[in-house]
Structure 1
């Protein structure tokens, strides 16, 4: 079989089917994917919360690596459940196995950004990348930022495309747009759940 890490970019639907039919669907491959996406999420959370204001860069990285051990599987499990449930609601045929494998392998583009965006930006800005006010940019930093940020956006857009196609294949939808609908509805459930928790916290406190 061809390497799915390469073919998923051009043929996401065919690649998912090949993954399901071979050893690539085993935990040997899913575990590192799940862990790396946990690191991606921890970096994203640190950036949004400006964690660098209170935590040193080495501590931030170490904590991200540690918490990824727990958050990665949790995030993967939630995504798998939502992709399976929403797909079934839309009359898809995918079972838990198809949904969970799709939830894991669809994140390959985001994992790539760990090396094409997150690592270079951390090397460029250090702790300042995760702070409220980023230190003044040098010319070199400005040039690299103008290159890296649009690249990250482009990969993220492609991630949404790949996820839509993979979910469509997992649930045997003819149209990738239906896979996109599964993705969007799943994310809406996330947002609604977070809003509910926030409102409940405000009421209690």
Structure 2
């Protein structure tokens, strides 16, 4: 009876909603019951949402709003696929060091799940960009009026919370896919991020000394 109830719950599971509170169950549902095409949908949407997030406070890029939307619609899916393909490979290799059991296909299938919170927030960002572009593209406290500053602070706080929760989801998803603990999943994500940070820091230091010298 319990197995029958669990099967029915899995059949009713919708990743777009369940990922918030049940990331591991959602990841297992995707791995066991959904094909690669279904998983790619979240990767494509996540790529488009990522472009919107990167456009915040990006006045220096000097790209018109229609240009950003075009990049979002056309370039976003390619960015999502490329980053997911690379990320799946990196998390697979690092996870293997911690005795993870995932395959590349399994890891790739769950890569879009951590983007779902950003996908939820994307419509709000579109409205913000459409009705208050001066605060969306230039979040400078010296520039903004008090009312606009309040909107920006609230929106930025929501974006920060969503980003943090996306990281938490990613830890749980990788833990479930590799079939190991959350702490191992955390270091699976942390190690490549730290390595990239160190490499970029070294490049910045070298460039700085070369310019000064």
Within 5 Å, which residues of 2 pair with 1:99-138?
Answer: 99-116=107-124, 118-126=125-133, 129-131=136-138, 136-137=144-145
The reply to whether residue 160 of structure 1 matches residue 167 of structure 2 is yes
Instruction: Give a deviation string over 1:144-202, Cα, whole Å, max 9, x none.
Output: 334322222222111111111111111111x3122111111232344356557778989
Partners of 1:39 and 1:112 in 2: how far apart? 12
Counterparts in 2 of 1:67 and 1:109: CA distance versus 1, 3 Å: same
Length-normalised TM-score, structure 1: 0.80
Instruction: Give a deviation string over 1:75-95, Cα, whole Å, max 9, x none.
Output: 111111111111111111111
Counterparts in 2 of 1:122 and 1:12: CA distance versus 1, 3 Å: same
Counterparts in 2 of 1:38 and 1:4: CA distance versus 1, 3 Å: closer
- Pairwise CA distance, 1:125: 2.1
Counterparts in 2 of 1:73 and 1:51: CA distance versus 1, 3 Å: farther
What SS does the corresponding residue of 2:56 show, helix, strand or coil? helix
Pick aligned residue for 2:178 from 149, 166, 171: 171
Tell which deviates more after alignment, 9-18 or 54-63: 54-63
Q: Which sections of structure 2, spanning at least 5 residues, go unmatched?
A: 1-10
User: In structure 2, what is the equivalent of residue 26 of structure 1?
Assistant: 36
Q: Which sections of structure 1, spanning at least 5 residues, go unmatched?
A: none
Counterparts in 2 of 1:7 and 1:64: CA distance versus 1, 3 Å: closer
Within 5 Å, which residues of 2 pair with 1:51-90?
Answer: 51=60, 54-90=62-98
What SS does the corresponding residue of 2:52 show, helix, strand or coil? helix
Give 1 or 2 for the bigger CA radius of gyration: 2
Counterparts in 2 of 1:178 and 1:73: CA distance versus 1, 3 Å: same
Length-normalised TM-score, structure 2: 0.78
Counterparts in 2 of 1:73 and 1:197: CA distance versus 1, 3 Å: farther
**Residue pair 1:51, 1:60 contacting (<8 A) in 2 also:** no
- Pairwise CA distance, 1:45: 3.5
Counterparts in 2 of 1:99 and 1:81: CA distance versus 1, 3 Å: same
Pick aligned residue for 1:92 from 100, 115, 123: 100
Q: Which runs of 4+ in 1 moved over 4 A?
A: 131-135, 192-203
Aligned length: 199
**Residue pair 1:164, 1:179 contacting (<8 A) in 2 also:** yes
- Pairwise CA distance, 1:96: 0.9
